[in-house]
Amino acid sequence: MVEWLKEPGFAGTYATMGADISQFMATFFTVLFIVGFVQARRGKAGVHHGLMLGGMTAMLAFFTSYYLFRQLGVLAFEGKEGFGGPKDLYENVFVPLLTFHILLVIIGLIMAIYMIVLGFRAQTFVAGRRMLRDAVLQTTWKRIGIVFGILTTVVLLLFLSRVAMAGFSLGKLSVYLGLLILAGLVFGFEITIQRIWPNGERRHRVLGRFTVAIYCILFVTGSITYTMLYILYPGKIG
């Protein structure tokens, strides 16, 4: 499978099969989310729910397994090996663009999970029709404490089982600690956001538009990266 992903891709560029599949899936998911967004704007909440829930879950599953396959780090270092253009362009355009793209990937992954949870929490059914509840939706400190406590326990158990299986290492500790810090940041974000938009319906609409906008920018930055790496400047740098 790993070998197959490294074979020449199907688009006729310098890309590997893996890069072509990734670009194809990125296009597919972006179109899906835009359609899901349009459905929400038209008040077709049932279709919107199905598209967003199915699409986001499939996207999370695809990209996490795909990048685990490609060993995560490859994403960050791919440019250095594969970029054949001038060094200035690499340092001043390519690296900042890829860094921005990866930052958006992280925000996009967090927002996907966040929006699904918010969708379920903010929705209601009136005469069998799915809609957003026009009411205050705020999590109490107690609830946040409980959820964070459960999460910390799960992460700790995962960490301890990894240590028992493969031994302790600082790398492992920092990964699991990083996960907890990230979760803490998300909870901090949630507390701030729900103060700004206490109304669940408003929050879902505002953050939903923000999330769809993030996915559109992701698609653009990803496509520029693809074009630079596999069409305009293929090859090794230096």
Applying CB under 6 A, the residues found at the interface with ligand HEM are 37, 40-41, 43, 45, 48-49, 52-53, 56, 112, 115-116, 119-120, 123, 130-132, 204-205, 208-209, 211-212
At which residue do the structure tokens 């028992």 appear? Answer: 164
Q: Residue 45 or 224: which CB sits closer to ligand HEM? A: 45
Answer yes or no: are the C-beta atoms of 210 and 60 closer than 8 Å.
no
State the minimum distance, in angstroms, from the CB of residue 18 to ligand HEM: 26
Q: Residue 74 or 217: which CB sits closer to ligand HEM? A: 217
* The dihedral sign for the CA sequence 46, 131, 117, 67: positive
State the minimum distance, in angstroms, from the CB of residue 28 to ligand HEM: 16
CA distances from 24 to 19, 41, 183, 213 (A): 9, 26, 30, 19
Answer yes or no: are the C-beta atoms of 52 and 119 closer than 8 Å.
yes
State the minimum distance, in angstroms, from the CB of residue 3 to ligand HEM: 35
State the minimum distance, in angstroms, from the CB of residue 216 to ligand HEM: 11
Q: Residue 162 or 205: which CB sits closer to ligand HEM? A: 205
Q: Residue 48 or 70: which CB sits closer to ligand HEM? A: 48
In sequence order, which residues have a C-beta less than 8 Å from that of residue 233 and are 6 or more positions away?
83, 84, 85, 89
